[in-house]
Amino acid sequence: MASANKCVVYVEPGKVSVETIEYPKLELPEQHRKCNHGVILRIVATNICGSDQHMVRGRTTAPKGQTLGHEITGEVIEAGRDVEFIKVGDLVSVPFNIACGRCRMCKTGNTGVCLNVNPARPGAAYGYVDMGGWVGGQANYVMVPYADWNLLKFPDKDQAMEKILDLTMLSDIFPTGYHGAFTAGVTTGSTVYVAGAGPVGLACAASCQLLGASVVIVGDMNKERLQQAKSFGCETIDLTASGDLPDQIAQILGEPVVDAAIDCVGFEAKGHGQGASEAPATVLNDVMSITRVAGKVGIPGLYVTGDPGGIDENAKVGQLGVKMGLGWAKSLSFTTGQTPVMRYHRQLMMAILNNKIHIGKAVNATVIPLEEAPKGYQDFDKGAAKKFVINPNGLIKQTTPQ
């Protein structure tokens, strides 16, 4: 029996609201075709993401009424006829990128650019502009297609609920941070620079430690977020202070370069120094300048092809002043794009369940009810050093990560 379904919806730049939307059907968006391979979830946890904030700030082409939410963990309450291995009652993590499991990209593990789930371009996501029209999951209920392929079932529901504030990070920011670190070549003994101490940057820094880095340096302009990075053993650089980044790196490491660097900021980057204005190529140029020759750069930070609020005509179409010659001269390697969550989420789940990492503590998971989502967006936009976890159905009992 259908229940009321409320969802966070984009209203206008700087404003979201919680509105009643249609209860999900086992039906493909905009096609009105039966989705027998899908399930409907009662959502246990769904998180506010920095990518959502880009839309809410008016920095994408998102229309009024865009549903929000691509970080989803939930319980299966209905399964389509063709779902074989996921069962009603299963507690599952939902990769933010939707994938069919059948196309050339999915078969090679590139689930972030599935060819069959978005008529406009490769790749799709829940509740995101230009990502296929899929309804967002900052809601009570949501429909997930290709369930047998997409969903990661937690082996023990009681154990999972005890770890839910860690496991909810598997839908996006933990695999995204890990992907940034892994593709940058972080390994035993690596020295690493992570640009950005937002939730993805903090998740990346924790991932670097999990991968065995000897020193992880996090740079940001937000003192509260830098303090959060320090709380689990990172070195930090306050980018509002004077001084060149290589010199600041040298003060920590004794040399002005790192083995690996990761851009966890994206296209709304600012320059350095107190009161610095937006300069979208800053972080890309920074990471090239401080990565050792023949090193690797991970770029999980979001870059877009359409930015109405861009600082100039080039920035509005994603054309930035990147020092490509520097990257070429240093023989650097770059990895960009949506993280293929399914490449990592199972092993990261096992790391959480076996207490090898406490990702919820690292990103300061903070639980809020669905009706407080608008305030959560406001606080996050002001730079709160928190990862807001929405508890839409009141199923999360603990307030801090275990």
For residue range 210-254, list pLDDT tens digits in order. 999 999 999 999 999 999 999 999 999 999 998 899 999 999 999
Q: Is the pLDDT of residue 124 over 60?
A: yes
Q: Is the pLDDT of residue 395 over 80?
A: yes
| Residue 326 structural domain | 173-335
Which tops the pLDDT comparison, 96 or 61?
A: 96
Angle 34-37-38 (CA atoms, 0-180°, nearest 5)?
A: 85
Q: Tell me, yes or no, whether 396 lies in a domain.
A: no
Residues 162 and 186 placed together within one structural domain of the fold:
no
Give 326's strand partners: none
* Residue 181 to residue 175: CA distance in whole angstroms: 10
**Structural tokens at position 217:** 């340096």
Share the mean pLDDT of the chain: 96
pLDDT reported for residue 23: 97
Burial of 142-165, coded b for 16+ CB within 10 Å and e otherwise, reads bbbbbbebbbbbbeeeeebbebbb
pLDDT reported for residue 402: 73
The 10s digit of each residue's pLDDT in 283-321 is 999 999 999 999 999 999 999 988 999 999 999 999 999
Residues 114 and 205 placed together within one structural domain of the fold:
no
Residue 97 is part of a domain; what is its CATH number? 3.90.180.10
Name the percent of the chain lying above pLDDT 70.
99
Of 309, 335, 361, the residue at which a domain comes to its end is 335
Q: Give how many domains the chain has, as a whole number.
A: 2
Residues 240 and 367 placed together within one structural domain of the fold:
no
Q: Is the pLDDT of residue 377 over 70?
A: yes
Q: Tell me, yes or no, whether 399 lies in a domain.
A: no
pLDDT reported for residue 299: 98
Residues 58 and 200 placed together within one structural domain of the fold:
no
Residues 68 and 189 placed together within one structural domain of the fold:
no
Residues 190 and 224 placed together within one structural domain of the fold:
yes
Q: Is the pLDDT of residue 2 over 80?
A: no
* Residue 117 to residue 123: CA distance in whole angstroms: 7
The 10s digit of each residue's pLDDT in 164-220 is 999 999 999 999 999 999 999 999 999 999 999 999 999 999 999 999 999 999 999
The 10s digit of each residue's pLDDT in 4-47 is 999 999 999 999 999 999 999 999 986 678 999 999 999 999 99
Task: Check: CB of residue 86 under 8 Å from CB of residue 100.
Answer: no
Residue 293 is part of a domain; what is its CATH number? 3.40.50.720
Residues 151 and 18 placed together within one structural domain of the fold:
yes
Own/partner contacts of 248-256, CB < 8 Å, gap of 24 or more, are 248/219, 249/193, 249/217, 249/290, 252/215, 252/217, 253/191, 253/215, 253/217, 256/290
Of 289, 306, 335, the residue at which a domain comes to its end is 335
Residues 125 and 31 placed together within one structural domain of the fold:
yes
* Residue 6 to residue 23: CA distance in whole angstroms: 9
Residues 166 and 275 placed together within one structural domain of the fold:
no
Q: Is the pLDDT of residue 1 over 60?
A: no
Q: Tell me, yes or no, whether 202 lies in a domain.
A: yes
Q: Smallest Cα–Cα separation from 198: which of 353, 18, 381?
A: 381
The 10s digit of each residue's pLDDT in 47-61 is 999 999 999 999 999
Of 335, 357, 376, the residue at which a domain comes to its end is 335
pLDDT reported for residue 200: 98
Residues 19 and 148 placed together within one structural domain of the fold:
yes
Task: Check: CB of residue 23 under 8 Å from CB of residue 366.
Answer: no
What would the mean pLDDT of 324-343 be, rounded to a whole number? 97
* Residue 281 to residue 275: CA distance in whole angstroms: 17
pLDDT reported for residue 242: 80
Residues 150 and 36 placed together within one structural domain of the fold:
yes
Residues 100 and 221 placed together within one structural domain of the fold:
no
Q: Tell me, yes or no, whether 210 lies in a domain.
A: yes
